[in-house]
């Protein structure tokens, strides 16, 4: 067997010592408080059957895209789906990417230019940060959900831009729902700041699709701010229950991405089946108010229960489907997670270095299909584990 580099082996050993080594596990039959399948669409037989019938009706009996979208992979279903998505989100255009990761690295590696400024929330997702690293722009983080800290940076870099008579642009980057905390920024303040300082606001809505808005259109649409945002990134692997992502914006933005976004240009397109699933899932979302209402009821019920059990001070405040309770230390949070598993509940630990050391947590993901009884039981167990420790 080929020799494995010592440096890489030492990094793996360090992860083991920190009790932070990641591994792959199979799905289980535990009560789900860990997946991002907020509306149950990933397991929906209705969506599966409608997708199959749609492909038969369109006579699309092929397994793959056959190439990149710029070569042979741009089948007609892409255009129909992108038009539907754009209309659903009240955007001028939509452009589908193969994943949320591809969308973020594709956007940030090509849109901000050399000497442009990117100001991003310090808790932005790894895919955003990786895309920013691939950019030639200068980047600086602002404190999480802190509009005052952001404005200090805007004053600083806008003044530099003015003194130099520079045409360099400033991009403000945030998420409408943060994946580890489940909280949201004051989006109205960010929009106002972007307009005051003549900046471009970019919002990742991965964990808002299917959760916010009367039809699950997302946080921005719920606030009616869609016409004041430069770009929105929607990811389909959470509330939509399938795979892929889209970037919403102007026709000029779409054209630029088609011409310069490397993660779009140099990859095989999604199969017709994948794109059909996206379209059918969006149609179900459009008519799926019952699931959305049930999810929002469960979020409200969860917050009521943590108040009654005096657990609220331990949780990060948020109104999304992600609810996180902070525990310090990988060993402790893994131990409590294992106790949940033994009791039949799939509650996952979030360990450092995924989150900063000392901010380790249990993350409860809520779904439309969780019952009040399940929520009550899992929170009573949490209270028992906390008070016991």
Residues 6+ positions from 98 with CB-CB distance below 8 Å: 243, 244, 245, 263, 267, 269, 270
Please tell me the predicted confidence (pLDDT) of residue 165. 53
Say how far apart CA 110 and CA 123 lie, in whole Å.
Answer: 22
Q: pLDDT per residue over 94-144, tens digit each?
A: 999 999 999 999 999 999 999 999 999 999 999 999 999 999 999 999 999
- Which secondary-structure segment (H or E) carries 175? strand 170-175
In this predicted structure, the answer to whether residue 174 has a pLDDT above a threshold of 60 is: yes
265 to 64, 73, 79, 94, 269: CA distances (angstroms)? 17, 11, 16, 16, 9
Mean per-residue pLDDT, 285-291:
89
Label residue 23 exposed, middle or buried (CB < 10 Å: 0-12, 13-18, 19+): exposed
Alpha-helical runs (H) found in 261-345: 262-265, 272-286, 289-308, 330-342
pLDDT for the residue numbered 372: 97
DSSP string, 340-366: HHHTTEE-EEE-TTTS-TT--EEEEEP
Distance CA 197, CA 326 (A): 36
pLDDT per residue as tens digits for the range 215-249 = 999 999 999 999 999 999 999 999 999 999 999 99
**314 alpha carbon, distance to own chain's centre:** 23
Closest CA to 372 of 303, 324, 292, 285: 303
Model's pTM, two decimal places?
0.93
Mean pLDDT of the chain: 94
């Amino acid at each position: 067997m080929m020799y494995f580099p010592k440096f890489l082996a030492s990094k793996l050993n360090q992860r083991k010592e920190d009790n932070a080594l990641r591994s792959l596990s199979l799905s289980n039959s535990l009560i789900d408080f860990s997946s991002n399948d907020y509306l149950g669409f990933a397991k929906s037989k209705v969506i599966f059957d409608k997708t199959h019938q749609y492909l038969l009706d369109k006579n699309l009996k092929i397994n793959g895209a056959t190439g990149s979208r710029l070569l042979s992979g741009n089948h007609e279903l892409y255009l129909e789906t992108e038009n539907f998505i754009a209309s659903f989100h009240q955007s001028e255009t939509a452009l589908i990417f193969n994943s949320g990761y591809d969308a973020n690295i594709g956007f940030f590696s090509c849109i901000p230019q050399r000497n442009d400024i990117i100001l991003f929330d310090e808790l932005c997702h790894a895919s955003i940060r990786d895309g920013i690293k691939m950019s030639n722009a200068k980047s600086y983080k602002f404190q999480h959900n802190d509009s005052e800290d952001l404005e200090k940076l805007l004053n600083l870099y806008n003044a530099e831009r003015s003194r130099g008579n520079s045409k360099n642009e400033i991009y403000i980057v945030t998420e409408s729902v943060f994946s580890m905390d489940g909280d949201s920024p004051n989006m109205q303040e960010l929009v106002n700041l972007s307009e005051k300082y003549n900046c471009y606001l970019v919002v990742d809505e991965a964990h808002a699709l299917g959760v916010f808005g009367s039809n699950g259109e997302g946080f921005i649409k719920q606030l009616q701010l869609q016409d004041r945002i430069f770009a929105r990134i929607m990811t389909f692997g959470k509330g939509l229950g399938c795979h892929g992502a889209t970037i919403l914006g102007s026709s000029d933005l779409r054209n630029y991405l088609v011409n310069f976004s490397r993660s779009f240009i140099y990859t095989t397109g999604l199969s017709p089946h994948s794109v059909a699933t996206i379209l059918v899932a969006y149609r179900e979302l459009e008519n799926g108010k019952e699931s959305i209402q049930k999810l929002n009821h469960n979020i409200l019920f969860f917050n009521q229960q943590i108040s009654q059990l005096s657990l609220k001070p331990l949780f990060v405040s948020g109104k999304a489907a992600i609810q996180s309770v902070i525990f310090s230390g990988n060993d402790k949070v893994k131990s409590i997670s294992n106790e949940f598993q033994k009791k039949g509940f799939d509650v996952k630990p979030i360990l450092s270095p995924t989150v900063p050391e000392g901010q380790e947590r249990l993350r409860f993901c809520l779904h439309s299909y969780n019952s009040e009884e399940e929520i009550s039981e899992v929170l009573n167990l949490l209270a028992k584990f906390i008070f016991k420790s």
